[in-house]
């Protein structure tokens, strides 16, 4: 935290992540309240996630070819503009829900650039022997943003959907200002790359990256399991939001429910390190998924 560039990066990402955590609550509530259609609400959320996944296929290669600070700043600023436009549309009765949904999907897709940009900047700013601590702080910041963003979004949404959306835009706007400039980013020797390494096309670079991942048995297994496991996890969160909203619960209560998932990550992190020393990673992952499945069924009943 004595590194100015890292301080600014943590601040920028904390605000960005808070905006995303707010969107996870605000978007389902907004679409459901306007349309009363849970299927359409789920469709918009699904399309947003799908667009993010598709853009993620190229986001790493794009970040490699452009300076990560520039990419992160442009993405955060674009996010702010999109949410301000949505807030403007909400002030007019009869505004097209399809236009709002399209903007929401576009905003969700832009999140694909956050992780590769942040990791690139951490590697360039932080000394190699401090990378572990730097990433630990980053994960703690992400979980804290999720815990605070949900209730905050619910509280603001109860005041007015426009208020919540405007605050999201402000968060992303300030984040774009905090992104460390090139002058505060000095490449470590380990992260310096020759210009020749970036001479290939973005498509080829992305294809090479996926070829590497899927040719490695361990990485391939982690990727496939994570992809499948995230489907019911995402669906379960959306199901909770819609069911509680349909039952007449306030947006603030729904925000608290959403925050419980981030809180669970924080609590679990205190045990994860010790458990990995006692239980093999594969078995530990299987136990975690089994626990999620069992507890989900218990909560539904």
DSSP 177-231: HHSPPGGG----GGG---GGGG-S-HHHHHHHHHHHHHHSHHHHHHHHHHHHHHH
Higher-confidence position of 201 and 66? 66
What integer is the mean pLDDT of 250-265? 69
Residue-range domain boundaries for the chain: 4-186+218-300
d(CA 129, CA 101): 44
DSSP 218-268: HHHHHHHHHHHHHHHHHHHHHHHHHHHHHTT--HHHHHHHHHHHHHHHHHH
- Is the predicted pLDDT of residue 287 greater than 60, yes or no? yes
Name the range with the highest mean pLDDT among 81-95, 159-173, 257-271.
159-173
Tell me, what's the pLDDT at 158? 86
- Is the predicted pLDDT of residue 155 greater than 60, yes or no? yes
Kindly report whether the global pTM for this prediction surpasses the value 0.75: no
Tell me, what's the pLDDT at 170? 95
d(CA 196, CA 198): 5
Tell me, what's the pLDDT at 194? 43
Q: Give me the phi and psi of 250, to 5 degrees please.
A: -70, 160
Q: Select the CATH number that applies to the domain covering 4-186+218-300 from these four: 2.60.40.1120, 3.30.70.270, 1.20.1250.20, 3.40.190.10.
A: 1.20.1250.20
Name the range with the highest mean pLDDT among 157-166, 180-189, 200-209.
157-166
Tell me, what's the pLDDT at 142? 74
Tell me, what's the pLDDT at 146? 76
- Is the predicted pLDDT of residue 259 greater than 90, yes or no? no
Tell me, what's the pLDDT at 132? 67
Higher-confidence position of 129 and 177? 177
- Is the predicted pLDDT of residue 90 greater than 80, yes or no? yes
With cut-offs at 50, 70 and 90, classify the pLDDT of residue 177. very high
Tell me, what's the pLDDT at 1? 60
- What mean pLDDT is reported for the chain? 78
């Amino acid at each position: 935290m004595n590194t100015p560039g890292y301080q600014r990066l943590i601040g920028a990402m904390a605000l960005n992540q808070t905006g995303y955590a707010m969107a996870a609550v605000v978007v389902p509530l907004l679409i459901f309240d306007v349309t009363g259609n849970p299927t359409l609400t789920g469709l918009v959320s699904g399309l947003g996630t799908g667009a993010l996944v598709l853009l993620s296929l190229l986001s790493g290669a794009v970040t490699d070819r452009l300076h990560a600070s520039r990419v992160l700043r442009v993405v955060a600023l674009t996010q702010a503009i999109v949410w301000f436009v949505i807030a403007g549309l909400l002030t007019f009765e009869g505004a097209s829900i399809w236009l709002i949904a399209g903007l929401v999907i576009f905003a969700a897709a832009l999140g694909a650039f956050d992780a590769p940009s942040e990791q690139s900047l951490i590697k360039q700013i932080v000394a190699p022997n401090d990378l572990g601590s730097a990433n630990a702080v980053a994960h703690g910041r992400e979980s804290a943003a999720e815990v605070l963003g949900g209730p905050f979004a619910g509280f603001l949404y109860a005041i007015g959907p426009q208020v919540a959306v405007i605050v999201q835009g402000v968060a992303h706007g300030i984040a774009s200002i905090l992104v460390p400039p090139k002058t505060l980013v000095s490449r470590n020797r380990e992260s310096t790359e020759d210009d020749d390494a970036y001479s290939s096309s973005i498509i080829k670079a992305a294809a090479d990256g996926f070829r590497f991942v899927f040719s490695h048995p361990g990485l391939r297994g982690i990727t496939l399991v994570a992809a499948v496991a995230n489907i019911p996890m995402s669906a379960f969160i959306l199901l909770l939001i819609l069911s509680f909203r349909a039952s007449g619960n306030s947006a603030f209560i729904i925000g608290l429910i959403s925050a419980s998932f981030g809180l669970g990550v924080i609590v679990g992190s205190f045990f994860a390190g010790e458990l990995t020393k006692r239980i093999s990673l594969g078995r530990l992952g299987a136990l975690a998924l089994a626990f999620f499945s069992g507890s989900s069924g218990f909560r539904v009943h």
